Structure 1
Amino acid sequence: MKLNNRYSIKGNSLMFLVLLVSNLLFFTVVSAQGEDQNWHLPDLSEKFKSHPKGIFVELADSIPIRGTLYRIRVPKNWNGILLSDLDYYKSADSQRNVKLLEMGYALSGTKRRPGRMKAYDPAHEIHDIISVLDIFEANFGKPSKTIQLGCSGGGTITIAMAEIHPDRIDGAIALCGATSPWMANTHLDALFVLKALLAPELPILEIPLKGAEMQSIAKDWENVVKAAQKTPEGRARIALAITIGQWQAWGGKGEAPVPNPNLNNTIELQNSMYESLVRLLPNRGTFGTTMIELAAPGQIKGNTDVDYREFYENGNELYKKTVEDLYKKAGISLKSDIKKVNNFPRIKADASAKKWWSKPGRTHIGEPKIPFLRLSTSGDGLVYPAMVKGYEDLVVKNGYSKLFRSAYVNRWGHCTFSVGEWLAAIETVKQRIEKGVWPNTKPKELNRLAKKLDSNSKAEYFEFKTVKKYNRTWVPDINDFIGE
């Protein structure tokens, strides 16, 4: 282990000594007369690292055995609260994290491991985060409060931490966090509709992450969807795929190609569906669910028991209105197309994959045991916001509503939150931990709080119109656990 990249400590036997050092750093004054009191300890009173935005102690090293890189920073004005983030290692100098240090928060986290794309396992990432929490406590003592937070994959493990490690954290904030098996099957459904109605010959499973074959498949799918958009029938079927799949009509990577559509305007909404879809079709930039497919032994995606008529009925009401308008204008039967999708050859998930994803930390069951705030951007084309509805319903069913809140930001993209929006979320969970009741989490109040904490930030929390019911909630049962 390295302290501040200058003072090296070898061997676990010195952990206790390091803890004493940290206590001296933060809670005692070392005088010139006190040298004989701690002659056996390294003098770290001058080891704070200077930074343009503040002064802090830093630990940056790798976790023994696993080798995952981690980073810890504790400011001189530490308020006793630790913010733990899966992706802190690389984001430590971001505007957001430097500001949090200025505000007195300690921060810690890891760097994502090499090979993650082909060997993804959120349970292992949780193990890494727990290890970093252990290292933090051994060096700096137990924080007064620990809040686990993170975006994307960091949000995924945050949800799990709230459910299975309430002994290690006091609060949780998951931003654009996926439940991997849910996400995989939500991704499957829209593509399955497109395959059934537009391109039976094109693959939708086990698509390579890169290479000539990937590029060929991507081009073929792009050509199919672009051709469909030129006909009334094709436009109707694109809208049907988005609606059944519960994908966002406005969401994706990069810059938004069109303004956020008026959901009551059929032409605007359908065009936005198309523009989003062409950016979410299989290609090198949409590797998220391929990564999930590669994680487990066997295929997690499946739809053998799905009734796509029911899935359509569960969709966003305004999306359905657009679908019905388009089908009427095209002069084709919506009922017949849904029947065709229902009759198309199905995909069976492997029991081995279900067994693997059933393990704690790899999926979520809707039982947060500490205050938990879940945030999403409305224009997230990677981690579908509809999943939050599925989680909310599980939380209500399981009786954990007092511990859970959700909020949405009106913005295109995945994890595109402003600094102020992050700070408002952190302050909200902090207040819930300290007072035992949730402060106001309505959009107006969250926006006011975001502006108060960072006046230069955008603050765009809003009331989000979501799906009637999320289609792909999956909670493992005994057969899943034993692999039958």
Structure 2
Amino acid sequence: MKFLSALVLSFLAVGTCRVQAQPASALAPLVTNQRITHPAEGATSEHGDLGGVPYRIEIPAHWNGSLVVFYHGYSYVPFGPELDRPLTSQETPEYNRGYAIAQSAYSRTGWALEQALPETDRLREYFVKQYGKPKQTFVTGGSMGGALTMVTMEQRPEVYDGALALCGRLGPTDPPMQQRFSFRAAFDYYFPGVMPPLVPTPADYMDSDANRAKVTAALKSDPAKARKIRNLMRLHNDEDVAHMISYIGFIIADYQQRAGGNPFDNRDLVYNGTDPDDSASDNDLNDHVARYAADPVAHQYLVRNVTPTGKVLKPMLALTTTYDPLIPAATISSYPQMIAAAGFSQNFVQQYVKRDGHCTMSGEETGRAFDELVNWVNHGKQPKAGLLP
């Protein structure tokens, strides 16, 4: 099954998602369902559909003339209704500091990089046409939105002054997704029949409370095996294992459908880490786990979406928690290495907050990080890597 139209393919290049700038006239499709309100004196809130894609623009009463483009994260369902809700703790700090916010809902759910990049750039162009060129433009986003922030900064440095990636899926998509697939295969060995088939995963599979409950019950039925899969996945508790196994099933199905086949392969993987005191457990898993081959064409979809270059020409600050079950800090360490290899370490800083959970930094912490970024952009004071001050 082919999911990428010729138009979308024009935005892609091997190794990365490439957004090609177009004339403003070509990026001005009919705005429909437009609703402009003024929630406070001097403030403007614009909602509508741009080329059929829901969007929001929020301009505070004390607008400083600058813009923050915000990317939302991975979503199971259409995101449009979320745009009618109040700004989140990832957006409110910037808004309260006088920045306008522009956000697109994306025309597809799931790992929608190939939709989100051009559609959000089209919204930015629309903002410029409607409200004038901003004094400065920043980009930020959380989770998958952090990955989109990364790609945007690599591809559009002429547009953006700086970036804040929050709990982002930084670095190449392929290695951590292959790891997630391998975890599901290991779970299926320890607890056969609990989850649906892995290749192909049913297209209608959903991450749900019911599926998490099934995984939880299986883990409780055999604490020894539960400990092995927990150790392998480096998770703190069975609740996190249940969440991740259920969630992984959905994203595997999403990627398989988008790629038109199975992009995952664990044939050459040597599993380790199920028991820190004994190799016998690892040996048993390697001897018996099901092995799957990737479809080469499908695998290239995973590579395209996305493999960054490390070419970061403007300041980029990344913020994560110390324990993130969905995007562990260890899985994003390759990106600073890529940036260093490309010769741009001076433009990237990684910081953390001492907290468990995915994207659980507070609004106050997000605001402090954003202040650091703005100070870096405007005054050249690079933040210190490590704990968020």
Q: Normalization by structure 1: what TM-score?
A: 0.63
Match in the other structure for 2:220:
226
Structure 2 residue identity aligned to 1:298: G
The equivalent residue for 1:412 is 356
Q: Determine if the alignment matches structure 1 residue 127 to structure 2 residue 118.
A: yes
Number of the residue aligned with 1:165: 156
Cα 1:94–1:222, aligned 2, differ >3 Å: closer, same or farther?
closer
Written as runs of structure 1 = structure 2, the 5 A alignment for 1:384-463 is 384-443=328-387, 446-447=388-389
> Within 2, Cα distance between the matches of 1:201 and 1:77?
54
Output the amino acid matched with 1:287: F
The CA distance in 2 between the partners of 1:153 and 1:82, in whole Å, is: 20
- Indicate yes or no: 2:25 matched with 1:61: no
Structure 1: gaps of 5 or more residues: 1-10, 16-47, 244-248, 250-271, 313-319, 328-333, 448-484
Structure 1 equivalent of residue 39 of structure 2: 51
AA matched with 1:339: N
Q: Distance in 2 between matches of 1:212 and 1:69?
A: 24
Following the alignment from structure 2 to structure 1, what is the Cα–Cα distance between the partners of residues 99 and 126?
A: 17
Q: Counterpart in 2 of 1:277?
A: 241
Which position in structure 2 is the counterpart of 1:294? 257
The answer on whether the counterparts of 1:180 and 1:292 sit within 8 Å (CA) in structure 2 is: no
Residue type of the alignment partner of 1:190: F
Counterpart residue number, 1:136: 127
The CA deviation string for residues 42-97 of structure 1, in whole angstroms up to 9 with x for no partner, is xxxxxx95435x63234333223xx1111223334322321100249445544664
CA contact (8 A) 1:191 1:241 kept: no
1:308 aligns with 2:295: no
Aligned CA distance change for structure 1 residues 369 and 299 (closer, same or farther; 3 Å): farther
Cα distance, 1:176 vs structure 2: 1.9
Q: Structure 1 vs Structure 2: percent identity of aligned residues? A: 21
**Residue equivalent to 1:78:** 63
Structure 1 residues 73-82 or 427-436, which shifts more?
73-82
Gaps of 5+ in 2: 1-23, 29-35, 73-81
Alpha-carbon offset, residue 127 of structure 1: 0.4
- What SS is found at the alignment partner of 1:433? helix
Find 1:149's aligned residue among 140, 143, 158: 140
Q: Are the structure 2 counterparts of residues 206 and 374 from structure 1 closer, same or farther at C-alpha, using a change threshold of 3 Å?
A: farther
Distance in 1 of aligned mates of 2:269 and 2:252 = 19
Match of 1:187 in 2: 180
**Greater RCO (Cα-Cα under 8 Å, separation 6 or more):** 2
Cα gap change, 1:290/1:368 in structure 2, threshold over 3 Å: closer, same or farther? farther
Provide the secondary structure at the position in 2 that maps to 1:174: strand
2:324 aligned with 1:380: yes
Match in the other structure for 1:103: 97
What is the distance in 2 between the residues matched to 1:140 and 1:380? Answer: 38
Which one-letter code corresponds to 2:270 in the other structure? D
CA distance in 1, matches of 2:207, 2:120: 36
- Which one-letter code corresponds to 2:295 in the other structure? D
Secondary structure at 1:51 match in 2? coil
Alignment-mate amino acid for residue 246 of structure 2:
P
CA distances 1:328-348 after superposition (whole Å, capped 9, x unpaired)? xxxxxx322222333344222
| CA RMSD between the two structures | 3.4
Which one has the bigger helix percentage? 1
Q: State whether residues 154 and 177 of structure 1, in contact with CA within 8 Å, keep that contact through their aligned partners in structure 2.
A: yes
One-letter code aligned to 2:58:
R
Deviation at 1:431, TM superposition (A): 1.5
Displacement of 1:216 after TM fit?
8.5
Report the alpha carbon displacement of residue 184 of structure 1 after superposing the two structures with TM: 2.1
CA–CA separation in structure 2 for the residues paired with 1:195 and 1:415: 28
1:81–1:216 Cα change, 3 Å:
closer
Partner Cα distance (1:397, 1:293) in 2: 32
Counterparts of 1:318-333 in structure 2, within 5 Å, are 323-324=275-276, 327=277
Given residue 67 of structure 2, which amino acid in structure 1 is its aligned partner? L
Taking a change above 3 Å as real, the CA distance of residues 154 and 401 of structure 1, as seen in their structure-2 partners, is same
Residue identity in the other structure for 1:78: W
**Kept in 1: contact 2:94–2:370 (CA 8 A):** no
Name the amino acid aligned to 2:319. L
- CA change 1:142–1:301 in 2 (3 A) is same
Counterpart CA distance in 2 for 1:50 and 1:216 is 42
Amino acid at match of 1:123: E
Greater Rg over alpha carbons, structure = 1
The structure-2 alpha-carbon separation of the partners of 1:381 and 1:207, relative to structure 1 and needing over 3 Å to count, comes to: farther
